[in-house]
A = this chain, B = another copy of it.
Amino acid sequence: MVNEQEFLAGYDPRAYPAVAVTVDVVALTIRDGELQVLLIQRAAPPFAGFWALPGGFVRPEEDIAVAARREFAEETGLGGEPLRRVHFEQLASYGTPDRDPRMRIFSIAYLAFAPDLPEPSAGSDAGDAEWLAVTALPTRELAFDHRKIVDDGLERARSKLEYTPLATRFVGEEFTIADLREVYETVWGHPLHAGNFHRKVLSVPGLVEGTGATTEHGGPRGGPRARLYRAGDANLLHPALLRPAREETVR
């Protein structure tokens, strides 16, 4: 039997069938009171002209998570501190043999949560980029299996709001309880009881901490000035902020 050195010296990677690995990013933000996902229009085949998730090949010496951040930054033009405030997490991997007509391509999907972002600037390999309301997804055909990836990302996002403080990633540095409630209502897609939500947010340790300040003015249609809060230091919410169970999802 050969030892490790001899083995590696005689090892030929080219002996294996070619496969490739890409990252795709499901980037979510809240704009105009709607949950929106970042899409780019493909300029080159395959699926030229179709809308797709931002993503691309992982570079030879690049870590996957770094690749995901790079692809996101390229499409949004974001960098520096604003980019650091964006939360990234691995979502899942997709590798059905025929998901890409070129060759066997595995995609490692990432999920990104970002506060209200400006209109995206198109990257070099994208014909166009835009934020699309997730409610409009059913009318838009996406490239590859990206519809499935987006659906998985949305379910992950809805679920993560329950037991993590990720909702604070959708709002600015300072926010009101109503801002936070709007995030939950938008992502979950139904209204919440304002009073109960308020009580709950303040009772969960480490979710938010008060700044002592209030908003400059009341709401656009009246109401008192709201107190401002910052994200707290909790990583997990306990007790969790559960969305009402829908009978369909249980069985």
* Chain A residues packing against B (C-beta within 8 Å): 1-4, 7-8, 11, 13-14, 16-21, 44-46, 48, 57-58, 60-64, 90, 92-93, 95-97, 101-104, 106, 108, 205-206, 233-236, 238-239, 242, 245, 249-251
Contacts and interface: CB of A to CB of B under 8 A. Distances in A.
A125 to B, nearest CB: 13
A48 B4 CA distance: 8
From A7, A21, A62, A236, residue with most partner B Cβ within 10 Å = A21
Which label, helix, strand, loop or mixed, suits the secondary structure of the A interface? Answer: loop
Contacts of A60: 17, 97, 104
B4 A46 contact: yes
A2 B48 CA distance: 10
A63 B97 contact: yes
Nearest to A58: B95
Contact of A20 (B13, B44, B90): B13
